[in-house]
Structure 1
Amino acid sequence: MMKIVKSTLVAAGIVLAIGGTAQANSAAGGPELEKQDWSWLGLFGRYDQAQLQRGFQVYHEVCGNCHSLNLVAYRNLSALGFTSDQIKAIAAEREVEDGPDDQGDMFERPATPADHFVPPFANDKAAAAANGGAVPPDMSLLVKARKDGPDYVYNLITHGFTSDMPGEPAEWWVKMNEEQGVESVFPESKWFNSYFPGHAISMPPQLMDDLVEYADGTPATVEQMGHDIVAFLNWAAEPELDERKSMGLKVLIFLGVLSAMLLALKLSIWRDVKH
């Protein structure tokens, strides 16, 4: 319970600190977020395990080359339906520093299920050096860092980019600036994204049709991969969601039965009382 409360407070704090992306984006002249129908929304909403596995594949083969997932351990992948052998194989693809050994030296070893996801870079400076001076954010709580987080991330990675080349802003943005008498100056090293605050993002477009090959045969369209990776990232931020909703439903049923029993008891006690 304390773990759930802590993670909720952390996510809430991040949201309050960053503010409402949808409103800020609209005020800057950007398009409104296209709302998506996520499986986990609502009282009876739950994660789709097959979708989570596909989302992990997109992270593993695409996003994980730049973005870390520091708050998730490899063993947590069992919740997605991966077997212990599969998890061991996934973890062993990366190496971690361990030690000291008997001689007092640090050494490298394959990661194990008990380790957290190994980041793609040794530190922030290495990450910045490999990404044009920008540090790719950790994805552990990414969808909780903004208002309408899942919709925001989905729109940003699927429909936000207006060009495959850096330094090319969207026509609507240039026209808006002209109408306001503002000079349209856009960084040559940045990509224009309609949903990113300020619109200048260091990450180039990442998704294209058939970028990955899903084991279950699902067509790997940009939209499909966008839904899958967002579902996985929401699970990374809220892995206890299904358990929490199941517990909440049980509590509601218990309270309903208890209320009915108390009402029946009251009626039984007062049935023969003369007014």
Structure 2
Amino acid sequence: MLRKGFILAALGLAFVAGPSFAATTHEEPKDVHWSFEGPFGKFDQAQVQRGYKVYREVCAACHSMNLLSFRNLGQKNGPFFDEKYKNPNDNAYVKSISKDYQVNDIDSETGDVVQRPGTPADKFPNPFPNEAAARASNGGAYPPDLSVITKAREEGPQYVYSILTGYVATPAGMEVPPGKHYNPFMPGDMSAFYKGKGPVPEGGFIAMPPPLEAGKVTFDDGTKSTLDQQAKDVVAFLAWASEPKQTERKQFGLAAMIYLLIFSGLLFVSYRRIWKNVGH
């Protein structure tokens, strides 16, 4: 009887605690092909350039990229790499881009904080002076830094692309909190907000309103500026920013594999030649 009582008590506790541990759900990220995928993949320079423009004109208003310096844009395999400029600090494109930003500095004579045009050596400036200011400007939400966003999220590029293109009409019966937006690709638990019929919709709420729309950014190369194109381009740029040395790493890995293959062959031939007349 005592054992039976324990079992019933445990079952009762499970039923009471069950709703508190409801699992978050979301739709699977969209299946998108990227030029930089796979062991032989590499970034499309034109696409990454367009992606930088989307970031600069849209994302940079709220999101920082604290780990990225302007000179990274001109490094080998970067969006503005040019063979003429071996040193990215001398890259004319990078100089022009960095000069468009105002960065904080210290006046050497007065010690006051001043602003000056950026240089290739500067990091991308934060759009807000501190976290409190960032939250105050975004309804209490803190916009994440995008430096390594595609590495920090599972299925990174696909996930970020799905979020950017996944805003849909709120399902009937769904109560959306003020300042939030429904997105089926955002992890969440909708059970407390859904008053409609049928199963609880997958997805969650996100503080960021839909950031992209057709024609919002004009591409210099004449590419049609659809929402889908903007999302793909900015995700490619963020993927590059998360790992600027990705292409070089893959090239080195391929060369290392070829070397090891040749070395293994030479070892095998040497082994056969040295030991062919030795009894075993």
TM-score normalized by the length of structure 2: 0.78
Structure 2 counterparts to residues 90-101 of structure 1, below 5 A: 90-101=97-108
Partner SS for 2:129 = coil
* Equivalent residues, number: 232
Amino acid at match of 1:86: Y
Structure 2 counterparts to residues 77-156 of structure 1, below 5 A: 77-78=73-74, 79-82=78-81, 84-156=91-163
The aligned counterpart of 1:162 is 168
Distance 1:224 1:86 in 2: 23
- Of stretches 194-203 and 52-61 in structure 1, the one that deviates more from structure 2 is 194-203
Distance 1:125 1:257 in 2: 58
The aligned counterpart of 2:178 is 188
The aligned counterpart of 1:70 is 66
* CA deviation profile, 1:109-166 (whole Å, cap 9, x unmatched): 11111000011111112222222221211101111222111111101101x2114xxx
Distance 2:248 2:115 in 1: 36
Distance 1:208 1:244 in 2: 35
Distance 1:210 1:186 in 2: 28
Distance 1:231 1:92 in 2: 24
Cα RMSD after superposing both structures:
1.7
Higher relative helix content? 1
Q: Which runs of 5+ in 2 are unaligned?
A: 1-22, 83-90, 189-203
- How far apart are 1:271 and its partner, in Å? 3.3
Amino acid at match of 1:71: L
Distance 1:56 1:111 in 2: 17
Amino acid at match of 1:53: Q
Partner SS for 2:116 = strand
Summarize the Cα distance change of 1:196–1:215 in structure 2 as closer, same or farther, 3 Å threshold: same
Distance 1:29 1:273 in 2: 66
- How far apart are 1:32 and its partner, in Å? 2.1
Picking from 241, 248, 256, the partner of 1:243 is 248
Picking from 211, 220, 225, the partner of 2:225 is 220
Distance 1:30 1:95 in 2: 39
Tell me if the contact between 2:80 and 2:93 (Cα under 8 Å) persists in the aligned partners: no
The aligned counterpart of 1:24 is none
Distance 1:35 1:58 in 2: 22
Amino acid at match of 2:72: N
Tell me if the contact between 2:25 and 2:187 (Cα under 8 Å) persists in the aligned partners: no
Distance 2:223 2:268 in 1: 52
Tell me if the contact between 2:69 and 2:121 (Cα under 8 Å) persists in the aligned partners: yes
Q: Which runs of 5+ in 1 are unaligned?
A: 1-26, 164-168, 175-183
The aligned counterpart of 1:19 is none
Tell me if the contact between 2:80 and 2:94 (Cα under 8 Å) persists in the aligned partners: no
Tell me if the contact between 2:26 and 2:187 (Cα under 8 Å) persists in the aligned partners: no
Amino acid at match of 1:54: R
Structure index of larger Rg: 2
TM-score normalized by the length of structure 1: 0.79
- How far apart are 1:82 and its partner, in Å? 4.6
Picking from 208, 212, 215, the partner of 1:210 is 215
Distance 1:106 1:132 in 2: 28
- How far apart are 1:224 and its partner, in Å? 1.3
Question: Is 1:40 equivalent to 2:36 in the alignment?
Answer: yes
Partner SS for 1:80 = coil
Amino acid at match of 1:112: T
- How far apart are 1:31 and its partner, in Å? 2.6
Amino acid at match of 1:254: Y
